[in-house]
Amino acid sequence: MRKLVNSLLLVCIAIFATAYASATEILDLSSIYHLSGILEMGDEQMNIEEKATSGDASSKTSEAIEGPDQSVKSLATDLERTEPAQQTMPEPGSTDSNSNSDSNFNPNSNLNPNINLNPNLNPDPNPDQNLNLNLNPNPPVSDQPAAGPEKSASIQKMTKYLDLLILVNKTNSLPADFVPPDLVKPDIPFCFQEDLPKKYLRREAAQAISRLIRQAQRENIHIYGVSAYRSYQTQKDIFTRKARELGEKEANRLSAYPGQSEHQTGLAIDLTSSRVGFKLTQNFGSTPEGRWLSQNAADFGFIIRYPAGKEHITGYSYEPWHLRYVGVEAAQVIADKKITLEEYLRDYPSPNW
C-alpha cells in the first residue's frame, strides 16, 4: 500500500515538474530522480513478510513507476525537438574548424538586405545622385594605338603600288624590295618549258591573259608568252648586259633601269609567235598575231604600252609585244583615243596618281 502511495506521489511530482519546465523552458530531471530515491529509501524499512505478500503488487507498482518516469523523459525529448535552437552569431572572420557544415555559413543570409551592416557607412538618401557612371560621349574606338605616320605612309605606298593603273616609267620607280603578293601562273603556252618566275602575273592579269589567249586560239591565232613578272634584281642584270653591248643611253631606249620596269608590277607580259621565231621584234606588230592583239587586247583589259609615235611620251621605242593590264574600262578608253597610259592619267586622274 505504501509503495502505491509513493508511486502516486511520484507521478504528481512529475506532472508538477513538467508544468514548471514548460513555464521556464528548463527541465531538470535530476531533481525528480533525487526525490524518487528518497522515497525508495523508506521502502527498505518495510517488513519482509509484507514484501512477500505484496510481491505481485510490487511488481506492478514498479512498472507503474517506470511508466511515468519514461513519460517524463519522452516529454523532455519532445520539448527539445520542438523548441527552436538559439543561434549564436559567429564573430566576424571566425571559423569553426571542427564542423564542415558551417564552412559555408553566411551570417547575413537571413538578414534584411536594406540594413546597413557597416556602422561607418551612412545610407545615402539619394543614391542615384552619386552614381559614378562612365557616360563619356566620345569613348575610344579602339584600345590599339593609332598607326604612326611611318606605318600610314607605308600602307599608302603599298596601295599605290598595287593600283591597276600604277604608273611606272623613267620618272616613277618601284622600290627594290617590292614584290606583288598575288602572283600566279596563267594558263597559257610559253615559248619555254621551265617553271620560272617570268611565267607569273598578278592574279587578275593572269586570268585576263588566259581568256585572251583562249579567244585568240579559237580564231586560229597562236600567241606565246615570253616574259611576265621580273624582279628588281633580274631587271638590273638585263639592263647591265644591254648597257655593256649598246652603251647606257641606247640601252635605256630599249630597256628600263631597275625599278623602272613595268614587269616588276606583275601586270605586264611580253608576247610573241612562231612567225617571228619567238623573238621580241618590232616586226611582230605586222604579223596576224600582232594585229589581232592591237585590235582585241583592250576587250580583255590590256593595252599596247609603248605604241609607235609615242616615244617622246613613254620614253621607250615602239614595242608591239609588250602588253600591260589596266582593266577593261581604262584599256578601251586608251585604245579608242589612241593615247598612252601617261596621257590617260593626265586626262582621267587616279586617286593614287
Catalytic positions, written as ranges: 319
How far apart are alpha carbons 19 and 27 in whole angstroms? 9
Residue with cell 572572420: 93
How far apart are alpha carbons 307 and 341 in whole angstroms? 10
- Identify whether the C-beta of residue 272 lies closer than 8 Å to the C-beta of residue 223: yes
Residues 6+ apart with CB under 8 A from 350: 163, 165
Give how far Cα 190 sits from Cα of 101, 195, 273, Å. 85, 10, 10
Give how far Cα 49 sits from Cα of 8, 39, 44, 53, 181, Å. 23, 20, 12, 6, 127
Residues 6+ apart with CB under 8 A from 28: 17, 21
- Identify whether the C-beta of residue 222 lies closer than 8 Å to the C-beta of residue 289: yes
How far apart are alpha carbons 306 and 295 in whole angstroms? 15
- Identify whether the C-beta of residue 341 lies closer than 8 Å to the C-beta of residue 286: no
**What's the distance, CA 264 to chain centroid?**
37
How far apart are alpha carbons 265 and 229 in whole angstroms? 7
- Identify whether the C-beta of residue 348 lies closer than 8 Å to the C-beta of residue 333: yes
Q: Would you tell me how many other CB atoms lie within 10 Å of the CB of residue 175?
A: 11
How far apart are alpha carbons 305 and 326 in whole angstroms? 10
Quick one: how many helices (H) and strands (E) in the chain?
12, 6
